[in-house]
Amino acid sequence: MDMRVLVTGGAGFIGSHVVEALTAGGHEPVVYDVRVDAGSDVRDADAVRHALSGVDAVCHQAAMVGLGTGFTDAPDYVSANDLGTAVLLAAMAETGVRRLVLAGSMVVYGEGRYSCARHGVVRPGPRAVADLAAGRFEPLCPACGAELTPGLVTEDAPVDPRNVYATTKLTQEHLAAAWARTTGGSAVSLRYHNVYGPRMPRDTPYAGVASFFRSALARDEAPRVFEDGRQRRDFVHVRDVAAANAAALEAGSAPGALTAYNTGSGEPHTVGEMARALAHAYGGPEPVVTGEYRLGDVRHITADSARLRSELGWKPEVGFEDGMREFARAGLREV
């Protein structure tokens, strides 16, 4: 059925593509975004209740994103992401809107899936500063200290948020699950992996690594790759993420619960590979591997998106090479 869908953050990077996907699917998206109207803040209960009038579902994209620059911005993250989500869900409970798709994140897992030849699947702890500073980037088996083999993380993996942003994204899921149980609503969290594509915000402390590299190339500078460039990620195109949102809204989920879906391409690539592909497509300088690191970054996190494919019939359409060629030519947006 065609739905009227409130898209919070609908003027943002991912949200604007979600709006386009919903429109193409015959739905009526309603954009709710502080970029469009200073009064459209999800923490404003009166404004949210007004925006929910006549709405069938909510696609909640509005958030303060990225790793951040330290712990001092924790109150801002918690306010924007968790208080904002609580206000939105309370208004949905009050107004009777019972269908939600949440922009989740793979950061809730912490490190990805690892296996040890001797001990099977293991969960390494946070990497030590001394190891990172010495260029020892790979996590080791907590039982024997051996090298580990990274694999694909599934939705039933234990959660282990390792920075403020990750903690707020997990809290959003807990709030949505509580809302669903209380109201009988349908809640889906799409745990985005590394989203890239047109309209990505340009170089800011909160932008994704693809944006940093693209911004450097636009300045005719070499992309600077942290660690040794061999950290593995799942780079998924923003149009594929938008299509996943449309599929999740149309399918709904079991009432009274939250269902989480990894949302990734299913094709792991290293950060170094991504930087080289983007630099070659742009025709800019070769990337420079710096050995620098950010405390709180994880080494490897790649998605098993089989559940999303099988249950919602979604599949990514934009391949890595094609996506990077398009992204090299696409314009970035100011924050």
Task: Give the active site residues.
Answer: 165
Q: Which two tokens stand for residue 246?
A: 């449309």
- Sequential DSSP letters for 139-161: -B-TTT--B-EEE-B-TTSPP--
Taking the alpha carbons at both ends of the chain, their separation in whole angstroms is 34
- 3-state secondary structure (DSSP) of residue 6: strand
Q: Which two tokens stand for residue 27?
A: 């739905």
d(CA 311, CA 252): 11
Q: Considering only CA atoms, which of 111, 9, 100 is closest in space to residue 57?
A: 100
**Do 257 and 191 touch, CB atoms closer than 8 A?**
no
What is residue 201's DSSP assignment? B
Q: Which two tokens stand for residue 22?
A: 């919903």
d(CA 96, CA 325): 44
d(CA 194, CA 43): 27
